[in-house]
Amino acid sequence: MTNLLEVKDLTMRFGGLLAVNGVSLSVKEKQIVSVIGPNGAGKTTVFNCISGFYIPTGGDVVFQGRPMQGKPGHLIAREGMVRTFQNVRLFKEMTVIENLLVAQHMHAEHNLLKGFFLTPGYRKKEKELMDRAAHWLDRVGLLEFANREAGNLAYGQQRRLEIARCMVTEPKLLMLDEPAAGLNPNETKELDELIMHLRDDHGVSVMLIEHDMGLVMGISDHIVVINQGAPLASGTPAEIQANPDVIKAYLGED
C-alpha cells in the first residue's frame, strides 16, 4: 500500500532551539496514526510543519506523491490535508451551520460574486453545500443545533463541530491536535467512535496528537513517539506500551 503522507527527516529550529529534530513518519490510506510524547516534545510543531503553518527548517513532506514543504496552509488544505487546533477555532458568533458553509466556501474558493446574480448554477451549488453541511451535522450529532450560535455550544460539541468543519471539505487526511483535551469520559468515548467511523465509513486517514492514552491505545493503527524533538519509538500500540524507552520518557516526566 502506498503512503498517503510521507515525512522524512523533519527539522524545525526556532533560534537556538531545535524543536523538531529528524522526525520521520508515514500515514497510509485509512490509517489512524498518533503522535505522542511528553509536554513540549515537539508534537504540535511537527503538525505545524506538515500542514504548512510553519516552513520546516529541513526535511521532506510528501502528500499523495507531491512535495508540500514550503506551501502555505490553505493550499495544503486544498490538496486534502486539513487540521484542527489545540484550542477550538470556530467562528463563535456565526451559527453552527454557517461555520460549515463558510468552511466550504473558503476551501473551494467559490466565486462569491456570482451569488449576486443568483444564477441557477450558483443556487445548485449552494444547495449542495447546504446538504453536505446538514449531512455532517447529523453525523456528529449536532443537527438539532444547526441554527445555534457556535460559541453557545458545549465544549465537547464545539470540538465535534470542528471535526465536521474539516469533513465538509472532503479531506483525505484529517489532523487532530489534542481533540480529547477538556472532554469528559462520555464525550471522549463519542470522539473515539466518531474517529473510527470516519476512517471505516468515509475512508479518511487520521493523524492525532493526544495525551489521553486510553484513546490513543484504543484507536491507533500506528504510534510515533517523540521526545525532546527527536524520534524515540514507533510501532503498534502493543509495541509502544512495552517499549522501555517510552516508559522511561513518560515516567521521567512527572
CA nearest neighbour of 175 among 25, 71, 67:
25
Collapsed DSSP state (helix, strand, coil) of residue 150: helix
Residues 40 to 99 in contact with ligand ATP, rule: CB under 6 A: 40-45
Min dist CB 86 to ligand ATP, Å, is: 6
Whether the CB-CB separation of 205 and 4 falls below 8 Å is answered with yes
Stretch that binds ligand ATP, among 11-19, 67-75, 127-135, 163-171 (CB under 6 A): 11-19
Measure the CA–CA gap between 118 and 42, rounded to whole angstroms: 48
Angle at 70 between CA 203 and CA 112, to 5 degrees: 65
CA nearest neighbour of 233 among 243, 218, 242, 220:
243
Min dist CB 250 to ligand ATP, Å, is: 12
Binder of ligand ATP out of 27, 31, 32, 37 (CB under 6 A): 37
- State the cell numbers at 16: 537556538
| Total of residues contacting ligand ATP (CB under 6 A) | 11
Nearer to ligand ATP (CB atom), residue 45 or residue 104 = 45
Min dist CB 232 to ligand ATP, Å, is: 12
> Do the bridges between strand 173-177 and strand 205-209 make them parallel or antiparallel, or are there none, so unpaired?
parallel
Measure the CA–CA gap between 23 and 12, rounded to whole angstroms: 10
Nearer to ligand ATP (CB atom), residue 43 or residue 139 = 43
155 binds ligand ATP (CB under 6 A): no
- To the nearest 10°, the Cα dihedral for 246, 224, 86, 167? -150
Stretch that binds ligand ATP, among 37-45, 99-107, 121-129, 142-150 (CB under 6 A): 37-45
Nearer to ligand ATP (CB atom), residue 42 or residue 56 = 42
Min dist CB 42 to ligand ATP, Å, is: 4
Min dist CB 235 to ligand ATP, Å, is: 19
DSSP code string of 39-64 = TTSSHHHHHHHHTTSS--SEEEEEET
Nearer to ligand ATP (CB atom), residue 45 or residue 99 = 45
Min dist CB 218 to ligand ATP, Å, is: 19
Q: Contact residues for ligand ATP (CB under 6 A)?
A: 14, 17, 19, 37, 39-45
